[in-house]
Structure formats: C-alpha cells, structure tokens
C-alpha cells in the first residue's frame, strides 16, 4: 500500500513535465515522496533531501543537456538517498521499478493524447520562419536574372560586377572574364549569382 505514495510521486513528476502546473504537481510529488519516506523509510531527513536533490538534477538535465554529467550526479544522489533509507532493499527495488514503469506508461499515454514534453519546447524551435511572412535567410537576388552589367574586377571565377549601379559578388559560368567585359546573369541560386560573358 505504501508504494502508492511512490507511484503518485513519480506520476506527479511526469504530469509536471507535460503540463505547466508546476506548483500543483510539484507540491503533490514532494508530499507523496515525503509520505513514502516517513512510512517505509528508516533514514534521516538527509536521505530524503538527497533523493529530492537527485530528482531535481535529473529534471535539470532534461532542460539543460550537458553530456549527462548533471543527470549522472542526480541518479547517484537519488539512488543513495533512496536506498540508504530502506530496510527491505529488495522490496524497495520492486517499489521503485513499479513506480518507474507506471510513470513511463503515463508519459506514453500523455504523448499519445497530444501533450508535448516541456523540455523539448525549450530545445526545439516551435515556429517556422516562412518567406511569405517576410523572413529570409539572405537577400533575394532573383530580380537580377537576365540583367546585364559590367565586370568591375576580373572573374577568376569569382569577382565583382556592377548591375544597375549595384556592385555584386558573382561567379562566372566557367571561363575567366576580364575586367570591363559585359556580362549577363544566367542563374541565381540563393545568394549565388552566376554570370556569362556576352
């Protein structure tokens, strides 16, 4: 029966990570873990705080990935705090395993229901920047297609060309184009402008 407190604690943590109700599920989780430690545990307050500190570090690892160092320290702290307070080690292992399994099932159900994992929102850009909305990765040079200009430097194969009073960085379509030669833009690919000599 005491394992219910552990199960409620871990399920509350899962709900905390899938919703924005940190206070409600955070308080419920701490209260459940405390109740479990008071009933089943025989350790000190230090064991309980090490357990909570380990959980906090593991959650922090989800939000701030740093090659697992914080998560490893959190796991060790959680394990040390939990097992040093238990009298029946094998029983506590089963309790912890059951709580983890049910918490994982809860997380899977929430994902299936359309809930999103909060740490993922902090790591992944949720909006896309569309060209139609005015966003652009670079200047659009497609307006220069089929325009003519004059090479202001020798293109070997890159160089500068003046078109309509604007000096642009361009690339020749193969051969070297001498300074002063008349050129035409034959292809535009993003910010890359390809010209040929007329």
Residue 109 in domain = yes
Residues 102 and 22 occupy one common structural domain: yes
* Confidence band of 67 (pLDDT split at 50, 70, 90): low
Predicted TM-score (pTM) above 0.75: no
Instruction: Give the SS3 label for residue 127.
Output: coil
Mean pLDDT comparison of 4-18, 84-98, 124-138, highest-scoring range: 4-18
Domain of 152, in residue numbers:
143-197
How many domains does the chain fold into? Answer: 2
Residues 8 and 79 occupy one common structural domain: yes
């Amino acid at each position: 029966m005491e394992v219910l407190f552990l199960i409620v604690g871990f399920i509350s943590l899962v709900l905390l990570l899938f919703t924005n109700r940190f206070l409600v599920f955070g308080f419920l989780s701490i209260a459940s873990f405390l109740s479990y430690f008071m009933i089943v545990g025989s350790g000190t307050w230090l064991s309980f705080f090490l357990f909570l500190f380990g959980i906090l570090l593991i959650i922090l690892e989800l939000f701030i990935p740093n090659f697992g160092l914080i998560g490893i320290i959190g796991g060790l702290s959680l394990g040390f705090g939990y097992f040093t307070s238990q009298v029946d080690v094998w029983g506590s292992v089963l309790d912890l395993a059951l709580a983890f399994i049910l918490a994982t099932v809860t997380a899977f159900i929430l994902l299936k229901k359309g809930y999103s994992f909060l740490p993922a929102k902090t790591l992944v850009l949720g909006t896309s920047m569309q060209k139609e909305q005015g966003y652009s990765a670079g200047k659009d040079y497609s307006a220069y297609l089929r325009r003519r200009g004059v090479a202001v430097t020798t293109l070997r194969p890159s160089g500068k060309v003046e078109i309509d009073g604007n000096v642009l960085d361009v690339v020749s379509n193969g051969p070297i184009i001498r300074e002063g030669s008349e050129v035409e833009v034959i292809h535009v690919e993003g910010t890359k402008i390809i010209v040929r000599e007329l």
